[in-house]
A = this chain, B = another copy of it.
Amino acid sequence: MIQRKGTVLSSRNDIKVFDVTVRDGGLCNDFAFTDEFVRALYQANLKCGVDYMEFGYRADKRILEEARFGKWKFCREEDLRTIVGNNDTDLKIAVMADVGKCNYKADFLPKSESVIDMVRVACYADQIPTAIEMIEHLHALGYETACNIMAISKVGTAELSQALTLLCHSPVDVIYLVDSFGALYPENACQLSKLCIDAVKGTQKKIGFHAHNNQNLAFANTVETLSCGVSHLDATVQSLGRGAGNCALELLLGFLKNPKYSFLELLKFIETYIPALRAEGVCWGYDLQYMFTGLLNRHPREAIEFTAEKRGDYFEFYRSLLDYN
């Protein structure tokens, strides 16, 4: 039994909603969003009471060829400012930096010269020491920091406990559980959350959750971890995100009872921009192939290929997954 924090009618001031549409959605279209799209989303997030907007990655240009990606793979300072100016708003700006794919010592200005508020360092559990080195550097520059532990459904309890101990001794502000494979059920997600919440007790650190919708549980897992005490919640407009996508921002805003949140302006954004994105061929969302990889607790890469090839032979595809399971 896990102690719950609040009820479905609670309004908790510790909750922070992260719109990560451009960042996780960018994985569906190589970050080729127009400025108009990103600006309209920023404006909608402002009006909807969203707490943080993640604009993309700050990827290492020595590793990732600039011409192959839209600008939000790199989130240059000037590109961010084109959208947000000096961002004199309550909406904070985040970018993500992947361990091993970010030239973080060269590519981040001191916070006083940057419009970015938070850098979220994404890593696998075995990369935690490197992540902490990045976090220490970014913290010293003045940024809020998060550590997003990916593929959390593959991390054993002992390994997670060690990671949490290391992170508790670091300056990181938020520790995220990232269900990259959409493999968790609400019960699992709550157990992992509880482990994290207990580990950071007595510190100021917060716990976050980032869901994927492979088993159509992204929203459910998000509200269930929330009810177990998780405070930092990732979501994307219309679930836009890699493969089966993420927790839908509109569902999350509809659930939250704090009157600062509203999904009204988001509806206008959705009807204006999402059909066009679909028409361009950008493809995401729950389907059987993602259920299979979620159920088998593995990376969705084969399911993404199955989708791209517009295949419909689900039985044969599932059989083929079992061959390599």
Contact = CB atoms under 8 A, between A and B. Distances in A.
Interface of A: 1-4, 7-8, 185-188, 215-217, 219-221, 223-224, 227, 248, 250-251, 254-255, 264, 267-268, 270-271, 275, 288, 291, 295, 312-315, 318
A217 B252 CA distance: 12
Contacts of A185: 8, 223, 255
A227 B221 CA distance: 15
Contacts of A227: 187
B267 A187 contact: no
Contact of A223 (B186, B250, B255, B271): B186
A221 B250 CA distance: 19
Number of copies: 2
Contacts of A248: 216
Nearest to A7: B187
B318 A267 contact: yes
A224 B248 CA distance: 20
A255 to B, nearest CB: 7
B275 A312 contact: yes
A278 to B, nearest CB: 11
A291 B250 contact: yes
Contacts of A219: 215-217, 220
Contacts of A315: 264, 267-268, 271
A194 to B, nearest CB: 12
